[in-house]
Amino acid sequence: MKSLGLAATALICASCAPPLMKLPSGVGTPAPNPDAFIQATAACRATSTITAEIGLAGSVAGRRLRAPLLAGLAAPDSARLEAIAPFGQPLFIFVARNGEATLLLPRDDRVLEGGRPEAVLEALAAVPLDASGLRETLTGCASSLDSGTARELGADWRVVADTGRDVYLHRESPGGPWRLVAAVHRQPGRPIWRAEYRDFQNGPSKSLPRSVRLKTINTGRFDLRLTLSQVEVNMPLGSEVFEVRVPPSARPITLDELRDSGPLGSK
C-alpha cells in the first residue's frame, strides 16, 4: 500500500476553513405556503444530470487534504468521481449505478467491486452518501421533503424537517430569492453533520451553488470544502460514463483496508 500513502501525502494542504454560517434556532411558527421551498429547489429539481470540476480541500480525521475531482452524476442513482493526480494515472475512479459501486485505484492496481455506494464513499472520504444523495448534496437539493412541515424562523428563514435531516431556506431580503443554504443530517449511529451552500450563480444552472461545505458537528470526523467550476447541467450522459474498466491484474481491496489506507481515508 506504499503508493496510497504517497497519494495521501500529495493531498496534504494547510488551508484554513471559514466559520460555519449561523443558523437560526427556536421552534418557529408554521409556514404552510410552499412557495419558498418550490423557489429554493426549482433549479436543482430540474437537474437530471450534472458534470463539474471540483476543487476539494479540507480534512478527514485531522488529516488535511487537497485534490481536484471530476464529477458526473445522473438521476436517479448514477455517479462517477475521479481524483486527478498532478501527473500520471488518477488516484481513484469511483462509479455507482443501480445501488452498486466500484472503486478502482489505478496506481495500486486494486479494486473494490459490488459495494454499497454510501459505504464505499464513507470509507473513502468519511461522508455517508449514496449516488442519489451525492447528487442532491452537490446541487443543494431536497427533492423529497414535505414542504407542509416548514416553519418560519423570522421573516427570511424557513426550516423544513425530514427524516434524518433539517433543511434551511434563506433569502437575503424580503424581495430576494429563496435558496437552500444548509442541511443538518442526523443519522442513527453517525455524527451529526452539516452541508452548507454559498456562491449561487445565474445562467443555465441558475440558483445552483458553487461552494459546498460538508462538516461534522462537534467532532473532527470530516470538514470538506468543495468548489465547483465548469458546471454543465442536463447534458446527455451515456451508461458508459458510469462504468470502469477493471484490469485483470487488479487485486481486491476491502472496505477496512480502504478506511486505513485509502487516498482520502483516515489513518
Under 8 Å between Cβ of 184 and 160: no
The domain ranges of the chain are 29-261
pLDDT at 19: 85
Q: Shortest CA distance to 196 belongs to which of 166, 236, 174?
A: 166
Distances in Å between the Cα of 30 and the Cα atoms of 27, 39, 164, 248 are 9, 18, 20, 58
pLDDT at 143: 73
Angle of helix 131-139 relative to helix 117-125, nearest 10 degrees? 60
pLDDT at 14: 37
**Class of the CATH-defined domain 29-261:** mainly beta
pLDDT at 7: 43
Rounded CA-CA distance 86/99 in Å is: 31
pLDDT at 142: 85
pLDDT at 189: 86
Give 41: exposed, middle or buried? Use CB within 10 Å, 0-12, 13-18, 19+: buried
Rounded CA-CA distance 233/58 in Å is: 26
Q: Where are the alpha helices (DSSP H) in the chain?
A: 2-10, 35-45, 117-125, 131-139, 255-261
pLDDT tens for the chain, 267 residues: list them.
444 443 443 444 434 567 899 999 988 999 888 889 889 999 999 999 999 999 999 999 888 888 999 999 999 999 999 999 888 899 999 999 999 999 999 999 999 999 999 999 999 999 999 999 999 999 999 877 776 788 999 999 999 987 788 999 999 999 899 999 999 999 888 899 999 999 997 655 557 999 999 999 988 899 999 999 999 999 999 999 999 999 999 999 999 999 887 556 443
pLDDT at 267: 38
Beta bridge partners of 152: 29, 158
